[in-house]
């Protein structure tokens, strides 16, 4: 933590960045995001095992970008989100400085994005163990049972879109659910509307999801919607042999074509 604060102060004092996006302890004891523009306030920065929110979501927000160059405290999922955002031209590498945090909580010094890429390449990139277990349990169900599981979960959905808003890869200023000419999916939160929303969201994140789990954590009613996108992480891996967010130049598997792509999923 000490190193993190020192590093943040250095970046702010030397005007290398205008803002540091990190974590602080809120008044109720919960950990929450903080935006530090004054190096004297950098002492409130913390990092511990509770700091799991995917802060990369702020890198595309207008009011945060307004500050200028952004420094961000980044765990592996945040680093990978940054890679996706750069490769999708949502973030310019010149506009961000990454204060990496290793799996053991050590501060990592990345000279540039390429160095960060080498770090990512050495990491375990699959879904987290807990979600792997949950997915394995779900995948043992037959089609009908799976459908029932999700129908029951989606019946709780209120379409508050906290799942979407907290995912760095859902950066669209006008989401497909907000288009009404034509209206792609029903606006209302009913069985059909909820199901269509979740299929749409999952498909838009197929091959782009970096397994941070933020969407599921954000859901106020406890729908494990991250399992849908994480399932597609496995699918993208098994069909195309790639994980998202490992390079600043890759394009997402579903928007590119290679002659040797497996096509067995086409019915």
- At 229, list the tokens: 């996108």
Pick 18 or 237: Cβ nearer ligand SF4: 237
Query: Phi/psi at 32 (nearest 5 deg)?
Result: -150, 165
Q: Which residues bind ligand SF4 (CB under 6 A)?
A: 54, 157-164, 167, 169-170, 172, 175-176, 200-201, 204-205, 209-215, 218-219, 221, 223, 225-226, 229
Taking the complex as a whole, how short is the minimal distance between the CB of residue 21 and another protein, in angstroms? 9
Taking the complex as a whole, how short is the minimal distance between the CB of residue 168 and another protein, in angstroms? 10
- For the four alpha carbons of 184, 165, 188 and 200, in that order, the dihedral sign comes to positive
Q: Which residues pair with 215 in a beta bridge?
A: none
Could you tell which of another protein, ligand SF4, none binds residue 7, using a CB distance below 5 to 8 A set by kind? none
Taking the complex as a whole, how short is the minimal distance between the CB of residue 216 and another protein, in angstroms? 11
Could you tell which of another protein, ligand SF4, none binds residue 205, using a CB distance below 5 to 8 A set by kind? ligand SF4
What separation in angstroms does the CA of 180 have from each of 100, 183, 186, 256?
41, 4, 9, 28
Could you tell which of another protein, ligand SF4, none binds residue 61, using a CB distance below 5 to 8 A set by kind? another protein
User: Which among 95, 103, 100, 105 has a CA at the least distance from the CA of 117?
Assistant: 100
Could you tell which of ligand SF4, another protein, none binds residue 31, using a CB distance below 5 to 8 A set by kind? another protein
- List, in sequence order, the alpha helices (H) in the chain: 2-13, 62-65, 76-87, 113-121, 129-139, 143-154, 162-165, 191-205, 214-218, 226-240
Query: Phi/psi at 91 (nearest 5 deg)?
Result: -145, 135
Taking the complex as a whole, how short is the minimal distance between the CB of residue 163 and another protein, in angstroms? 8
How many Cβ atoms from other residues are within 10 Å of residue 211's Cβ?
22
Overall residue count recorded for the chain in this entry: 267
Give dist(CA 86, CA 114) in Å, integer: 12
What separation in angstroms does the CA of 234 have from each of 143, 217, 239?
18, 20, 9
* String marking each residue 31-70 x if it binds another protein according to CB under 8 A: xxxxx-----------------x---xx--xxxx------
Is there binding between residue 252 and another protein (CB under 8 A)? no
Taking the complex as a whole, how short is the minimal distance between the CB of residue 129 and another protein, in angstroms? 20
Site stretch for another protein (CB under 8 A), options 1-9, 43-51, 122-130, 220-228? 220-228
Pick 7 or 164: Cβ nearer ligand SF4: 164
Pick 189 or 237: Cβ nearer another protein: 189
Could you tell which of ligand SF4, another protein, none binds residue 204, using a CB distance below 5 to 8 A set by kind? ligand SF4
Give dist(CA 258, CA 78) in Å, integer: 28
Out of 166, 211, 229, 252, point to the residue binding another protein (CB under 8 A): 166
């Amino acid at each position: 933590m000490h190193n993190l604060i020192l590093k943040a102060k250095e970046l702010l004092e030397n005007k290398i960045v205008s803002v540091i996006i990190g974590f602080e302890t809120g008044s109720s004891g919960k950990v929450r995001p903080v935006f530090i523009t004054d190096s004297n306030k950098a002492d409130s920065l913390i990092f511990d095992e509770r700091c799991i929110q995917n802060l990369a979501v702020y890198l595309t927000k207008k009011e945060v970008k307004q500050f200028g160059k952004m420094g961000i405290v980044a765990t592996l999922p945040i680093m990978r989100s940054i890679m996706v955002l750069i490769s999708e031209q949502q973030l310019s590498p010149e506009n961000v400085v990454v204060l990496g945090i290793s799996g053991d909580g050590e501060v990592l010094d990345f000279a540039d994005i390429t160095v960060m890429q080498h770090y990512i390449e050495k990491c375990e990139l699959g879904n987290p163990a807990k979600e792997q277990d949950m997915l394995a349990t779900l995948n043992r169900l037959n089609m009908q049972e799976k459908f029932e599981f999700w129908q029951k979960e989606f019946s709780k959905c209120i379409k508050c879109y906290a799942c979407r808003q907290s995912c760095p890869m859902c950066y669209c200023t006008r989401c497909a659910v907000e288009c009404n000419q034509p209206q792609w999916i029903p606006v209302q939160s009913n069985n059909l509307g909820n199901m269509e929303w979740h299929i749409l969201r999952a498909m838009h994140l197929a091959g782009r999801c970096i397994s941070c789990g933020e969407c599921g954590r954000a859901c106020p009613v406890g729908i494990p919607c991250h399992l849908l996108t994480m399932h597609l992480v496995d699918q993208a891996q098994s069909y195309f042999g790639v994980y998202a967010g490992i390079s600043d130049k890759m394009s997402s598997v579903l928007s590119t074509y290679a002659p040797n792509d497996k096509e067995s999923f086409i019915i």
